[in-house]
Structure 1
């Protein structure tokens, strides 16, 4: 008799052990993903839903515009392009992002009786759910990824360190809709039924166009990165692939191509109606202004000085937290482990691993190369930045000031590449017991390094509600208002202007004040402390033939004054 386990039984025993290990690892990753999501929303979920993403400047401008959309859907504001700010200027929605796709769920929440601040947070939560769930589906269906790696990619996409840093500019979170557009496109391309394929493609094109009508920078970065990826994908396949793609696009899949172009063209109509008049008046970002926001080489792994894992180390190395820089715009780098995984995957795909994956491998390589190229053209090369060529010749580029926000869109592509890399690693270790734990351990490391002490930034709903309640009703004869000189106290000018916009939006009372990316011609009411402010108010009223129907609001004293200056 012998106590040795027969070879077949031993193999079964090892496989059973591997299965148990994989289940334990998967459970640990799932728990970590849940914890990451809770941490991302901690200032809202664990404060009685009181915390609101952003600061009292940009975030409240967004909420005021969403409130305008809600009022327009309800028939209370006369025209969709005319929020009641910078009164009586027309078309002022075109001075900033339109937030149309945000406005749909926001208005439903408002119709259900939820206040403006919580309605905004409902939109943010809905975007998280859409982005993570559609990325998971995309990874499973299009990349044949395991549940673990698909879930990891979805979490890295939805709750990344850079997302937490940039959620204060919530228009960036529009990128959560990008996996939906890609899913619709891939479903259209693979559909055997031409009418269904055309319909799905039209839906994808429409969604992308409405992303332009929601958050311009995010949509522009997405469109240009997609085109760059397509070109690289065609080039690495050589002439045969170029011929094949041309035949499929314009012959075999022509209904799909026509459907996408038609949907995109229709969806772009309101965007053009709104922004072409603004463009024709000469609005553009001068290149000197853009240069102040360019990244440096090391910013690709700059997650900010408050990143829990890497912040202190990178600050000591002079990479993160450098005074004098636009930290909110340059600290959008990848966390180092994520970037290392991305680079390792790109090198593996360049080395021939993509042949094992077929189309997915080539797409992954094209995405990786596009992401790298998009970053490299923003850098200074011996005193010259290639982005100048893009700024000069690519349509829409002169509307881009903060080029490194492209990282938010590149994150989507990078997470796809990371999923491909983890799948390659998982399959390469199928026969090695010690590798069973490698992917879960790597996953936990990738998730942990997304934590940031500082972000997301937030302000308090309860304080805003109490402040608004403290303001008495405007005089009955008042049809529009401006802020009294010096009534903002010690607040920054942009916060005071946002005060006016919130009061205007919630009360439905037009205001001469406001803030946005662009200002109306001749409007100079931004500085309430300027001694000439009353004269500038009087001049604005004279230019626009306003009279006794205009009153003044003293924010500090919470009083209204019926007399115009």
Structure 2
């Protein structure tokens, strides 16, 4: 077989492995013609809005460091991951005609391809590992059981840049050792630019790479010390420029990241220790491959439900390693530590395994033992991360290198058939059947396409309501209070390149107060924000339920009272009654809604009914004597009744005035409605 034929066969094998890996990962997308995409209704829309922001930046519609949400704050990109590299890839697909959601998914697909190819190149061309082992390692790295369970957090897919970053660092160090000035400047500068771009793209994985690199260097110090004389003889003295130029490039290229994130870190204070500790994994989490793992799912379910029921197996703590690759780490540790082989590659593998164990030790929480606390306290940037367990997701990169090295026979020598069997199991155990493709593309497209363009005089907007018939408005789930209307506003903002005061992010401005609940005060909180920031002029309102825009002339128009005015009719059902048993007076009032809005309980137009108390001389005694919730009244004629039971100390010589009140906005007599007066004499 000729060299060319061998290369062609290898290329086919490599591309086939890549294709199969992608088919496994994007199975649901392929079966639904990309009808369902990676992400959730909430996080998926947040990411897509930031990607669309970069498209707007490249089109000249937006400032690079100012996303559409959290108006009127500036430098708002720093409240979340920046997604810069993602945005570049996204914009290419948008220019090719793909919609916002399909472009977002193609970013994920592209990242997986980058990760696979660059890992193979690192393993085979740089580390000189075997072809089959390198392909297997690339597939392990790409399939990643734990990352599959967390793929709805698409920012974590930036681990794909880890092999590429390592290639550049490898080439840079190699050029330094050879005293190749041009090559060292080029590779070092490229590494600096990539690191800076990675940091402003997705902070977690970039910072984890830096942390692991520091640990690897730390574990390599004994190797350098022991072989100092040999290294001094073999390594040529590098030029000062070879170190200085990449350092200058790093200092310059990292400025955008620092400009955006340092002020926000100071403003927010970063993540607190409680959150960091809460999301720290226990040993059980690291050994749980998840209930959807192809090989171990059922067995894992049985073991953890029967013997370790206290291990939390949901959410961010679904980060377990499949069992064979975990066993491989332990075998490699003993095989390497007790082997006296002084070969450089062998020694570097020792450093790799040591770094992996050190990483696990500092990450694991065992009762009060939690070394990550010291990382959180003393290492710059650590407070920017809340979910400690995500470091386990990053470790698939060094573990994949270890697996490829093992399969190449560098750690232990085993028969070929046994290596083939181990390689097969290592691949299959990384397959996790859990699907993160939960975002209904067609449904999302339909909604956002149905939103009309805002009025031309709008400078910014806020949203009220939520999509019709999507979530129960009375459900008090905190996520349903925080996300639906805010993330819709974020993407609408970017679609129309029009800023919004709404939004929700990793960090929020300190005066952000736009959760849905309590509904009674939502409009009042908006009005307060507009007044505080003096941004009433040019403000618009978008009703997500009716999909109608309205221009706000002044802050009083934020309230529903301005839209209803005197079109709620109040009347007494009967004369006030006195209960001899409870010694209390009661009044029953009939309500009729003649406005064109549904109001009251179960709507976003929540109004209370208030009572003012007057003394026997008709002097106002208590302006806010009693309040009750207004029942549901449908638009254009809806009727209902409400009964007031007055306090026991109520004096029958007093009188009351009944009228609707909008919390934090005004009483309805301020918009022309006449109160219903009731006498008890």
Q: Is the 8 A contact 1:485 1:528 kept in 2?
A: no
Map of 2:45 onto structure 1 = 60
Map of 1:544 onto structure 2 = 533
| CA 271–437 in structure 1, closer or farther in 2 if over 3 Å, else same | same
Q: Is the 8 A contact 2:29 2:437 kept in 1?
A: no
Q: Is the 8 A contact 1:67 1:116 kept in 2?
A: yes
Deviation at 1:324, TM superposition (A): 8.4
2: CA distance, partners of 1:280 / 1:420? 43
1: CA distance, partners of 2:295 / 2:276? 31
Map of 1:372 onto structure 2 = 357
Map of 1:7 onto structure 2 = none
Q: TM-score with structure 2 length normalisation?
A: 0.73
Query: Secondary structure in 1 aligned to 2:520?
Result: coil
| CA 81–346 in structure 1, closer or farther in 2 if over 3 Å, else same | same
Deviation at 1:308, TM superposition (A): 2.1
Deviation at 1:154, TM superposition (A): 0.4
Gaps of 5+ in 2: 2-8, 473-479, 559-681
Matched, 1:105 2:54: no
Matched, 1:442 2:422: yes
1: CA distance, partners of 2:464 / 2:232? 63
Q: TM-score with structure 1 length normalisation?
A: 0.88
Map of 1:234 onto structure 2 = 221
Map of 1:478 onto structure 2 = 458
Greater shift in the superposed pair: 218-227 or 203-212: 203-212
The higher-RCO structure (CA 8 Å, 6+ apart) is 1
1:141-540 matches, cutoff 5 A:
141-191=125-175, 192=178, 193-235=180-222, 237=223, 239-241=225-227, 251-252=237-238, 254-318=240-304, 325=312, 327-352=314-339, 355=342, 358-381=343-366, 383-424=368-409, 428-429=413-414, 435-485=415-465, 490=471, 492=480, 493-527=482-516, 529-540=518-529
- Which is richer in strand? 2
1:112-151 matches, cutoff 5 A:
112-151=96-135
Deviation at 1:436, TM superposition (A): 2.6
| CA 382–330 in structure 1, closer or farther in 2 if over 3 Å, else same | closer
Deviation at 1:26, TM superposition (A): 12
Query: Secondary structure in 2 aligned to 1:220?
Result: helix
Gaps of 5+ in 1: 1-15, 17-23, 430-434
| CA 482–248 in structure 1, closer or farther in 2 if over 3 Å, else same | farther
Deviation at 1:523, TM superposition (A): 1.5
| CA 426–486 in structure 1, closer or farther in 2 if over 3 Å, else same | closer
Q: Is the 8 A contact 1:345 1:420 kept in 2?
A: no
Deviation at 1:332, TM superposition (A): 1.1
1: CA distance, partners of 2:55 / 2:11? 43
Deviation at 1:322, TM superposition (A): 5.9
Greater shift in the superposed pair: 26-35 or 147-156: 26-35
1: CA distance, partners of 2:67 / 2:270? 22
1: CA distance, partners of 2:433 / 2:544? 33
Greater shift in the superposed pair: 410-419 or 314-323: 314-323
Query: Secondary structure in 1 aligned to 2:148?
Result: helix
2: CA distance, partners of 1:287 / 1:243? 44
Deviation at 1:29, TM superposition (A): 9.7
2: CA distance, partners of 1:339 / 1:30? 28
2: CA distance, partners of 1:109 / 1:345? 43
Deviation at 1:521, TM superposition (A): 2.3
- Which is richer in helix? 1
Map of 1:84 onto structure 2 = 68
Deviation at 1:49, TM superposition (A): 2.3
Greater Rg over alpha carbons, structure: 2
2: CA distance, partners of 1:413 / 1:306? 24
| CA 129–547 in structure 1, closer or farther in 2 if over 3 Å, else same | same
Q: Is the 8 A contact 1:285 1:400 kept in 2?
A: yes
2: CA distance, partners of 1:249 / 1:509? 57
| CA 486–501 in structure 1, closer or farther in 2 if over 3 Å, else same | closer
Q: Is the 8 A contact 1:486 1:529 kept in 2?
A: no
| CA 300–254 in structure 1, closer or farther in 2 if over 3 Å, else same | farther
1: CA distance, partners of 2:233 / 2:155? 37
